[in-house]
């Protein structure tokens, strides 16, 4: 990903939300410990405490967290916040930073994703950008769009069509800003769009993907990667034989995998590596039910205590369930990484 966007001449600002570890952050930033995105203030503080700077808190400003944002803004060389409503701007104006520091603000734009952000075509978007630009003690640093609608895609052609549209709409908005005398950065991102970027993304200032550090089954179905690229697994033990149901019981419930991916895969909630004939049918808090896609289970192949390897549907949701990651290379344990948690 680093090489891809160096070639395009665009700043890569990797998102930390998938893994939330120092080790992965060092890999994603090439060791610079600069220019990252976070989705929680727990992540922001964690990285700030370990020498990271130029941190963008890419979550529309929560009013109960303004003081914590102010503290980070006054402490770091560059801490940046995101907003999509005039009331949030007013919250920042009511809390000026000390020593003449400025609030560094990104305007969140909705370019078709349909989550947070002011709609790109709404005249209010330009008015809000102008208000940020004009506000005392505040700087309009950039315009930020998440093309999460790439998650509805299948294949490179569809991914690139969404990436192109998001890029076009963002650049069109930048032209509107230019027309009223405002110059700032532009950033779009999602793992699918940044795995298969379009050439026009070279006109942007930054991109902000995150999931690519692990990838997952969902990304392989979208077309971001192949299943072989997925770098995260959950190991689970067989703890029960249930011949009256033609099922195995395993010690991985939704607390080990999450319930993300329900009904999306023929193999249930995950892909069971090396066993395409098995399905993780359902999970309760600490138990999983595994059954064959067809035919009868041969229980001699799955003795009690034996391990199965699950490739998760959604790496971000699965990683959130674990207090430590065991890092392997060619079958050897080479380290343990501890993520930060909370908000």
pLDDT at 304: 98
Running DSSP on this structure, what letter comes out for residue 31? T
Same domain assignment for residues 171 and 266: no
Running DSSP on this structure, what letter comes out for residue 96? P
Work out the number of other CB atoms within 10 angstroms of the CB of residue 306: 12
Tokens at 142, concatenated: 């950039």
Q: Are 208 and 28 in contact (CB under 8 A)?
A: no
Q: Are 230 and 311 in contact (CB under 8 A)?
A: yes
Same domain assignment for residues 96 and 135: yes
How large is the average pLDDT for residues 327-340? 95
Q: What is the pTM of this model?
A: 0.96
Core vs surface per residue 214-229: b (16+ CB within 10 A) or e: bbbbbbbbbbbbeeee
Same domain assignment for residues 198 and 233: no
**pLDDT band at residue 331 using 50, 70 and 90 as cut-offs:** confident
Tokens at 186, concatenated: 């532009």
148: nearest Cα among 217, 204, 219: 219
Residue 342 lies in a domain: no
Tokens at 205, concatenated: 């200032």
Mapping DSSP to helix (H, G, I), strand (E, B) and coil, where does residue 173 land? Answer: helix
Last residue of a domain, one of 159, 185, 213: 213
d(CA 322, CA 257): 9
Same domain assignment for residues 50 and 145: yes
Last residue of a domain, one of 181, 213, 245: 213
Q: Are 251 and 289 in contact (CB under 8 A)?
A: no
Running DSSP on this structure, what letter comes out for residue 223? T
Q: How many domains is the chain partitioned into structurally?
A: 2
pLDDT single digits (tens) 140-152: 999 999 999 999 9
pLDDT at 182: 98
Residue 239 burial class via C-beta count within 10 angstroms: exposed 0-12, middle 13-18, buried 19 and up: middle
d(CA 314, CA 211): 9
Q: Are 188 and 201 in contact (CB under 8 A)?
A: yes
d(CA 252, CA 19): 20
CATH code of the domain containing 52: 3.20.20.10
pLDDT single digits (tens) 22-49: 999 999 999 999 999 999 999 999 999 9
pLDDT at 299: 98
CATH code of the domain containing 257: 2.40.37.20
pLDDT single digits (tens) 278-290: 999 999 999 999 9
Q: What is the CA radius of gyration of the chain?
A: 22
Contacts 24+ apart (CB under 8 A), 298-302: 299/241, 299/243, 299/248, 302/238, 302/241, 302/248
d(CA 80, CA 78): 6
Provide the domain limits for residue 50: 1-213
Find tokens 């329900």 and name the residue.
Answer: 262
């Amino acid at each position: 990903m680093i090489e891809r966007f160096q070639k395009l001449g665009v700043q890569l600002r990797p998102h930390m939300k998938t893994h939330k570890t120092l080790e992965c952050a060092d890999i994603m930033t090439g060791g610079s410990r600069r220019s990252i995105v976070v989705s929680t203030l727990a992540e922001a503080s964690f990285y700030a405490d370990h020498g990271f700077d130029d941190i963008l808190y890419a979550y529309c400003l929560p009013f109960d967290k303004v003081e914590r944002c102010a503290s980070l803004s006054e402490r770091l060389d560059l801490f940046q916040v995101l907003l999509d409503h005039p009331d949030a701007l007013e919250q920042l104006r009511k809390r000026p930073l000390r020593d003449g520091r400025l609030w560094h603000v990104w305007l969140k734009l909705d370019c078709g994703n349909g989550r947070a952000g002011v709609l790109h075509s709404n005249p209010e978007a330009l008015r809000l950008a102008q208000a940020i630009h004009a506000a005392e003690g505040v700087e309009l640093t950039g315009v930020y769009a998440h093309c999460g609608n790439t998650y509805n895609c299948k294949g490179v052609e569809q991914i690139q069509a969404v990436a192109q549209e998001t890029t076009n709409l963002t650049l069109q908005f930048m032209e509107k800003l230019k027309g009223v005398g405002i110059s700032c950065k532009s950033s779009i991102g999602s793992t699918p769009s940044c795995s298969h970027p379009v050439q026009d993304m070279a006109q942007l200032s930054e991109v902000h993907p995150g999931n690519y550090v692990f990838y997952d089954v969902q990304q392989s179905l979208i077309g971001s990667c192949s299943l072989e690229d997925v770098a995260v697994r959950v190991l689970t033990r067989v703890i029960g034989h249930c011949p009256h149901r033609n099922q195995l019981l395993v010690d991985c419930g939704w607390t080990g995998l999450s319930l993300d991916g329900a009904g999306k895969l023929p193999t249930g909630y995950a892909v069971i590596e090396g066993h395409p004939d098995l399905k993780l049918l359902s999970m309760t808090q600490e138990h999983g039910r595994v059954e064959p896609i067809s035919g009868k289970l041969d229980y001699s192949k799955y003795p009690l205590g034996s391990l199965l390897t699950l490739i998760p549907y959604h790496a971000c949701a699965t990683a959130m369930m674990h207090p430590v990651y065991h890092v392997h290379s060619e079958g050897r344990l080479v380290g343990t990484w501890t993520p930060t948690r909370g908000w």
